[in-house]
Amino acid sequence: DAKTTQPPSMDCAEGRAANLPCNHSTISGNEYVYWYRQIHSQGPQYIIHGLKNNETNEMASLIITEDRKSSTLILPHATLRDTAVYYCIVRVARGDDKIIFGKGTRLHILP
């Protein structure tokens, strides 16, 4: 079973920051928080991952709470192309470890 809890859907106005929450209260010390997204009829796309420090890349920022039991993915200036299902996953940082997807959050960007 997926180890994370996400809201099923969210709306965000175009140009505003989209903040997607994720709860992972049973995360282990060696598990990272990963975020992927899936645009309709495409394969999942990696966004960002982190262990305990906040991370930022060209796509998004990841804020992890100090106790590591929850995190927030931030898309700073959402566009219509960011409409997708966003998956928060906790896993060890090993490529051959299988990924179990939960239901994710369906993000709608409103024009």
104 is a site residue for other proteins (CB under 8 A): yes
**Residues with Cβ < 8 Å from 16, sequence gap 6 or more?**
77, 78
- Residue 67 or 96 with smaller CB distance to other proteins: 96
8 is a site residue for other proteins (CB under 8 A): no
Shortest CB 7 distance to other proteins, Å: 14
For residues 34-53, which are near other proteins according to CB under 8 A? 36, 38, 41-46
**Residue 60 amino acid letter:** A
Give CA–CA dist 41/22, Å, rounded: 24
- Residue 33 or 85 with smaller CB distance to other proteins: 85
Give CA–CA dist 61/84, Å, rounded: 17
Q: For residue 34, which of 87, 108, 104 has the smallest C-alpha distance?
A: 87
9 is a site residue for other proteins (CB under 8 A): no
Structure tokens at 21: 């929450």
Can you give the binding site for other proteins, defined by CB under 8 A?
Answer: 36, 38, 41-46, 85, 87, 93-96, 98-104
